[in-house]
Structures are given as C-alpha cells and as structure tokens.
Structure 1
Amino acid sequence: MTVFRPLAYALLSAPLWLAACSNDNKSAGNANLEVRLMDAPGDFRSVVLDVRQIEVHTLDEGNPDGWQTLPFQAQAINVMEYVNGRSALLVDTDFAAGDLKEIRLMLGPDSYVIGRDGQRYDLKTPSGQTSGVKLKLDKATLRNRETYQLLLDFDVAKSIVERGNWNSNNDKKERYLLKPVVRVVAQDIKGSLRGTVVPAASLPQVLAIRSSITVPDTFSTTADASGAFQLYALPSGTYRVELYPTTSTPTGQPTYKNKTVSGVAVLNDQSTNLGQISLN
C-alpha cells in the first residue's frame, strides 16, 4: 500500500520557488498569473542569470506608475536546464484581472556562463542591471478566476555575444556580453481534470502532479460528499493523479486505499474525465 502523503509534504518535497500552488481557491476578482522561463539551446555548458526582481506594467507605455513587483525570490537560474519543453516556474500568484502591457526582469551583476572549455566567464549586462530587460506583451488580458501564463523563451545563441576584440590572453571576465533576446508566449490556461471516487465517504485529497516537466507542479483539491472532484486552470501536459482518503474505514467494510493514476493527459480548452475511481 502506498504510504499516505499529506499535501504539505507533497508541496514541500520540491524546491519552493519552482513548486506551483493549488489553483482551486482563487480570490474573488483576481486571476492567477504564472511566469515561466525556458531556453533555446546554445553552445555553453551553463548559462546562469542573476535574476533579482520581476515586474509587470499595467498602464500605457511610458507611464512610470504602472509597474508592479511580482512575488519572486531573487535567485541564480541556469537556463540551460530548461530546454526541450522543460520550464522553470518563477511566479505563481493571484493578480488583479485586467491588461498587462509589459514584463521586466531586473538582473544583478552575477550572471555568468560556463563555456565548453569548462571555464567561467562573467556576463556583462549593458542595460539589464539598471533599467531591466523589458518585454512588450500583446493582448495579455487576465480574467477573473482564470490562469494566465507568460512563458519567457530565452534564446541563448542570440543573447550571448562575444566581444570582437577578445583573445585568450584577456581577462576571462571580459569575453561575453549579455544582450537578452527573449520571446514572450502569453496564453490562457484552461485545461481541467475531473472524476468521481467511491466510496464517497473516503473524502480523499486529490493531487494532480504534472510529471512532464523537470520539477513537477502540484495542484490539489478534495472530493465532495458525493465523491466528485474537479481541478480547473491546469496547464497542458501529462499528469500523475494521487488520491489519499482522509477518513477512517467503517468497521466491517473494505479498507480505504491510496490510489495513483499515471499517464493522464490534460489538453488546453478540454476537460479530462477520469471516470469512477475505486479506493477499496
């Protein structure tokens, strides 16, 4: 039998800054905003960005009052780890419904690359350290109780430029400039997952764990008194669904058991129905 694993453990078992939060209890009047980072491969072993802050702009371009800081823990991110469909979840938060005009990454001075030669080269950032890397958004509208995702596609090959006058006798710190080329993919996330458990009296906790990415996202809910459950605003991908009964089995009845359903496909704009799931 699978050992019972409560929600707190499931969420804390992955790095906090990459773990998605439950999406089933969004505040009234708010949407859910995700910011993710992925990479187009480049000819380096590592490309580490010193990301200090992430902001979005909600007013017309040029209005200095429109910038809002998102909840984000400053960190060094090796973007080379997020290729071939993998992505890093940087922000997952409630945000007031409305239009987003721009997103801005504030970079610190400690970005660097590890070349194919195994050497570390510091990245000089002409503008990112002061005004930040600004990216315009086209038709990014957040709606109440819906999830909106901003995917930042970082192009390593175009973003890291070797200085024209550099040679092997120069200081390694002066070899490369960072001139970020980032494509923004903005999308509503409207996949959903539903099913029914029996016996309904088991009142299980339901975890939907997106296993098709490097660090799995975890979404949660609880089946109601009729045994029905549903999770909304799920990103498309392959999920593992885990169910854990929260009540004791009545005397004389078959024991409630934990259940895992693997390989569950969730598609955008579609509802995946798992049907009836027995916990006996």
Structure 2
Amino acid sequence: MNLTRLFPLACLAVLGLASCSKNSDTSKLEVRMTDAPGDFHQVVLDVRQIEVHLKEEQAKDGWKNLSFTPQTLNILEYVNGKSALLVKQDFAPGDLKEIRLVLGPDSYVIGRDDQRYDLKTPSGQTSGVKLKLDKTTLRDGETYQLLLDFDVAKSVVERGTWRPGNDRKERYLLKPVVRVITQEVRGGLSGTVAPAAARPQVLAIRSTILGPDTVSTSADASGAFQMGALPAGTYRVEFFPSTTAPTGQPAYRNVTRTGVVVTNDNVTNMGSIPLN
C-alpha cells in the first residue's frame, strides 16, 4: 500500500487495476474505504464531500469534487477484505496530487459500554482531511482504485481529561490515521485460525526504512482472515485472541509467524494457525 501517512487527526490504500475502454481520453476512478479494527462496537463517519487535487488543474486551487453522495458509514463493517464503494466515475487521464475528505458534525462511536460518544474533528469539518498521493497517474483506458484504509485504533483518541461521569460527548476525538497505497501494490495474505472462537486480531508487520509498516484485521466467526493491498515483502504476522477459552479447554495464546513472504498479484495463504 505503499506510501504511509499519519495525519494530525488520526489506515487508505491505492490499487491499480487495468481495464479496457472504448472511449479515448477517459479513465475510471474508484474510491473505496476499508478499516483496521479498534475496540468499539461501531465507528460511524459522517462523510460530506470527497475531492481530488490535480497537479495541472487551472481551476480554483486545483481541487475537483467527485460524484459522491453524503452519507454516514460504520467503518467497522468493512474489515477482512471488505470495502465500501464511495465513488465510481469517469475521469480525465492525468496526475492526482491529493485526495481530501470533508467530514460533517455527526461522526460518533458506540463504545464497549454500549454508550454513544460524539467524535469531533474540527479540521476535518473545515479544510478536510488531506491525504497525499505519490506517483498517482490516471491513464487512458484504465480503472484506478483508491482504497482508504482507516486505522480505528490510532484514529479514535480518548481525551486525557475525560473521567467517568463527564459529558459523554466529550470523551473521544477523531484524529484520522489513513494508509495510502500506490498503484503497483497488489499482494495479500489469508488463512484461518483454530479455534475460530478465539476471534483474534491479526497484525502483518513489514520493516521499512521509515519504520514498521503495520496492517491489521480480525478473523471472522469462521476463523478466516484476509488482508489485501499489501506491498511485496517479508512480514511478521501476529495473532492476538480477543476472547478467553471456556473453562476446561486449553487457553488461547498469542502466536507469531515470521518470514511470511508476500508478492505482487498473489495472495499468500498461511493455512491453519492453531491458537491453543
């Protein structure tokens, strides 16, 4: 995925898929959102507008609105290889410099205590959450997909001054952390865990010159997990059970697999991973 950007508010990814088109001077642009999970029942984003900045654009400051219908998204529904399609439209070939999300005032989380807490992102509601794109060129006849990989665990931050009994609206801040992935990134990981009841969080960690690059997901109710849009490389994959084993059964344990190789255009199947 790989250009990694942390934003002053708080995983987005980019995949390139070639497709045929009979129209000259026309490409297609898709914008999707997926999620790295966090410790909440729901994380709902109020997305009002999506824009891209064109390097050669002569219009006002270079920003162009995309054909997007304002909506709220519970991004925890889009894990384990799932993604929400936000934009799909014809687009003139050329370079893209940035993508920007403008958020409304109605973002919120439902915590593990089943309470609703408002999420405030002042800069995201005014100037927008800006995500830099590197070497992003739409070419004639291609479909280009921007996958916004939102990292919930890093993006939703509890106020240091919050105490139980305070106004629930003031507990959390939204400081989006989003991963951006270059066009050539098309690797993946998959596998299953046993027992499925352990429901682990799964981390894939790759060392880079900028530091560790970490992607996360969670195994589903059947024990399956999948990660897409991974850069080629060698990974350390860690499994952290989110539940405890029933009385009388072997305890669930954390498991680490090293030397897991990911290559472009392939999904590396890790097979079955025992967690007890």
- Give the structure-1-normalised TM-score: 0.57
Secondary structure of the 1:37 match is: strand
Letter in 1 for 2:50: I
Q: Aligned pair in 2 of structure 1 residues 60, 131: CA closer, same or farther (>3 Å)?
A: farther
Supply the distance in 2 between the matched residues of 1:139 and 1:26 (Cα, whole angstroms).
25
2:155 counterpart of 1:159: yes
2:169 counterpart of 1:180: no
Secondary structure of the 2:95 match is: strand
2:140 counterpart of 1:144: yes
- Deviation, 1:187, is 2.0
Q: Is the 8 A contact 2:20 2:142 kept in 1?
A: no
Letter in 2 for 1:146: E
Q: Is the 8 A contact 2:52 2:65 kept in 1?
A: yes
119, 139, 151: which one pairs with 2:115? 119
Identity of aligned residues (%): 70
- Deviation, 1:85, is 1.1
Counterparts of residues 126-275 of structure 1 (less than 5 Å): 126-187=122-183
Supply the distance in 2 between the matched residues of 1:60 and 1:113 (Cα, whole angstroms).
39
Q: Aligned pair in 2 of structure 1 residues 180, 132: CA closer, same or farther (>3 Å)?
A: same
**Structure 2: runs of 5 or more not aligned:** 1-18, 187-227, 230-263, 267-276
2:112 counterpart of 1:101: no
Supply the distance in 1 between the matched residues of 2:90 and 2:60 (Cα, whole angstroms).
22
Which structure carries more relative contact order (alpha carbon 8 Å, separation 6+)?
Answer: 2
- Deviation, 1:27, is 3.4
Supply the distance in 2 between the matched residues of 1:25 and 1:51 (Cα, whole angstroms).
30
2:23 counterpart of 1:27: yes
Secondary structure of the 1:152 match is: strand
Q: Which has the larger radius of gyration?
A: 1
- Deviation, 1:84, is 1.0
Q: Is the 8 A contact 1:38 1:151 kept in 2?
A: yes
**Equivalent residue, structure 2, for 1:47:** 43
Supply the distance in 1 between the matched residues of 2:40 and 2:23 (Cα, whole angstroms).
43
Q: Is the 8 A contact 2:29 2:143 kept in 1?
A: yes
Supply the distance in 1 between the matched residues of 2:174 and 2:22 (Cα, whole angstroms).
38
**Structure 1: runs of 5 or more not aligned:** 1-22, 191-234, 237-266, 270-280
32, 38, 54: which one pairs with 1:36? 32
Once superposed, what is the RMSD of the aligned Cα atoms?
2.5
Supply the distance in 2 between the matched residues of 1:47 and 1:157 (Cα, whole angstroms).
11
Letter in 1 for 2:114: G
- Deviation, 1:186, is 3.4
- Give the structure-2-normalised TM-score: 0.58
Supply the distance in 2 between the matched residues of 1:169 and 1:188 (Cα, whole angstroms).
49
Q: Is the 8 A contact 2:148 2:180 kept in 1?
A: yes
Supply the distance in 1 between the matched residues of 2:105 and 2:44 (Cα, whole angstroms).
11
Supply the distance in 2 between the matched residues of 1:160 and 1:26 (Cα, whole angstroms).
44
Supply the distance in 1 between the matched residues of 2:160 and 2:22 (Cα, whole angstroms).
51
